């Protein structure tokens, strides 16, 4: 069966696609930052529970207070990039979502359960004792499962050649397990998330816990250790991910496309610089380099998507009926929303510690 016959027609855009592509690439790394902070902070809190000493015990308690907020930021910062993905690739994304619909619908209850458990971990920290370890392990298992579901959807979206399998498995339980890029892509996301989350925990400890030097030092030591060693593993695993990409996509990064090659070189150099900063426990420098690296990786991810879809679909062929008012209204609303969020963060930062607790 010709895969092209299974691809629905793309929706008409209300503005040139470059606008939506730019907004997608602007907002997606923000979601990644929050998601990474959430996943890695759960791991850091889990590690702090296992290490001896009062500072690590206090560290796990302090991280417990931040985790519910990180869930909220992860979910809310994921709305905008998902919106722009649907605008540009909705006919592909909806199709892959329907193929694995049962698993996709499971994301909502899984996130709700994880959210509830983290509130339980926060509010009942002292009463839980060693039971907190079970809660953190369960939350970590839920979050990596949600990540696996997302990786299945995103890889299936850009591989229409496998959609014909639906006729043999029409119950919404189709996963992309035969795709050679699925596992390395998933591990690339998860290892990177855990690493960056360790960095966030170190940054949080160095700023929010500076009134407790012992706990702050323990947080920086543990968080930067997680960040540095997992980043090293991520660099090695990234080579595996690159090797599993289709040859025509690999060539884009190996000199076949000037922009893609420049992104690859920039990403490699930033990754090496971040590693050095991590092992030297330069928290601020590592954080700045990591933000830049995440944006470079987002552009590389977009290159993989467009390169994989090239035989089937191109944004240049999507019809456009210009209507600027929806885009202008969205941008104004986005600006106001960001201003409100910034105001709330300032208020929280200046709120007395006893009130925050």
Distance CA 323, CA 127 (A): 57
Specify the 3-state DSSP secondary structure of 13: strand
Where does the chain have alpha helices with state H? Answer: 17-50, 54-77, 79-99, 101-105, 107-123, 125-128, 131-157, 182-208, 213-244, 247-251, 258-279, 283-309, 324-349, 353-356
Closest listed residue to residue 11, CA positions, set 80, 88, 84, 85: 88
Q: How many CA atoms lie within 13 A of 72 on its CB side?
A: 7
pLDDT at 335: 85
Q: How far are the Cα atoms of 48, 92, 172, 312 from residue 160, in angstroms, in the given order?
A: 44, 8, 16, 8
pLDDT in tens, the chain (357 residues): 556 567 888 888 888 899 999 999 999 999 999 999 999 999 999 999 888 888 888 898 888 888 998 999 999 889 889 999 999 998 899 999 999 999 999 999 999 999 999 998 888 887 887 788 889 999 999 999 999 999 999 999 998 888 888 878 788 888 888 899 999 999 999 999 999 999 999 999 998 888 888 999 999 999 999 999 999 999 999 999 999 999 999 999 999 899 999 999 999 999 999 999 999 999 999 999 999 999 999 999 999 999 999 888 888 888 888 888 888 888 898 888 888 888 887 877 676 655 455
Task: Note the pLDDT tens digit of each residue in 199-215.
Answer: 999 999 998 888 888 99
Closest listed residue to residue 294, CA positions, set 187, 184, 195, 174: 195
Neighbours of 199 (CB within 10 A): 28
Domains and CATH numbers, the chain: 9-311 (1.20.1630.10)
Phi-psi map region of 255: left, alpha, beta (phi>0 left; psi -120 to 50 alpha):
left
Specify the 3-state DSSP secondary structure of 281: coil
What pTM did the predictor assign? 0.89
What is the C-alpha end-to-end distance of the chain, expressed in Å? 60
Closest listed residue to residue 25, CA positions, set 301, 263, 238, 262: 301
Q: How far are the Cα atoms of 127, 154, 302, 326 from residue 85, in angstroms, in the given order?
A: 43, 11, 11, 16
Percent of the chain predicted with pLDDT > 70: 96
Distance CA 356, CA 349 (A): 9
Task: Note the pLDDT tens digit of each residue in 117-149.
Answer: 999 888 888 788 778 888 999 999 999 999 999
């Amino acid at each position: 069966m010709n895969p092209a016959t299974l691809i629905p027609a793309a929706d008409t855009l209300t503005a040139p696609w470059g606008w939506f592509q730019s907004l997608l690439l602007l907002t997606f790394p923000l979601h990644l930052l929050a998601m990474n902070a959430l996943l890695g902070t759960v791991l850091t809190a889990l590690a702090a529970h296992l290490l001896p000493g009062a500072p690590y015990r206090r560290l796990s308690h302090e991280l417990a207070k931040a985790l519910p907020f990180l869930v909220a930021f992860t979910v809310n910062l994921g709305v905008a990039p998902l919106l722009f993905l649907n605008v540009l690739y909705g006919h592909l994304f909806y199709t892959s979502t329907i193929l694995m619909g049962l698993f996709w619908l499971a994301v909502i209850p899984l996130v709700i359960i994880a959210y509830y458990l983290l509130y339980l971990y926060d509010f009942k920290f002292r009463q839980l004792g060693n039971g907190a370890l079970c809660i953190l392990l369960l939350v970590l298992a839920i979050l990596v499962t949600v990540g696996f579901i997302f990786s299945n959807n995103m890889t299936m979206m850009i591989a229409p050649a496998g959609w014909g399998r639906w006729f043999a498995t029409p119950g919404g339980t189709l996963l992309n397990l035969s795709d050679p890029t699925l596992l390395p892509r998933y591990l690339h996301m998860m290892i990177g998330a855990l690493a960056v989350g360790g960095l966030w925990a170190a940054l949080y400890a160095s700023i929010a816990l500076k009134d407790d030097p012992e706990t702050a030092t323990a947080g920086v030591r543990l968080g930067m250790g997680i960040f540095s060693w997992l980043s090293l593993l991520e660099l090695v695993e990234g080579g595996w991910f690159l090797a599993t990409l289709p040859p025509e996509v690999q060539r884009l990064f190996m000199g076949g496309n000037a922009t893609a090659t420049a992104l690859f070189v920039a990403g490699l150099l930033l990754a090496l610089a971040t590693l050095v900063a991590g092992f030297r426990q330069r928290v601020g420098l590592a954080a700045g380099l990591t933000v830049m690296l995440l944006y470079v990786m987002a552009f590389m991810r977009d290159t993989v998507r467009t390169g994989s879809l090239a035989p089937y679909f191109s944004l240049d062929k999507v019809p456009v009926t210009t209507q600027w008012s929806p885009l202008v209204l969205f941008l104004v609303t986005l600006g106001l929303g960001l201003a409100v969020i910034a105001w709330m963060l300032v208020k929280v930062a200046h709120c007395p510690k006893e009130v925050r607790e």
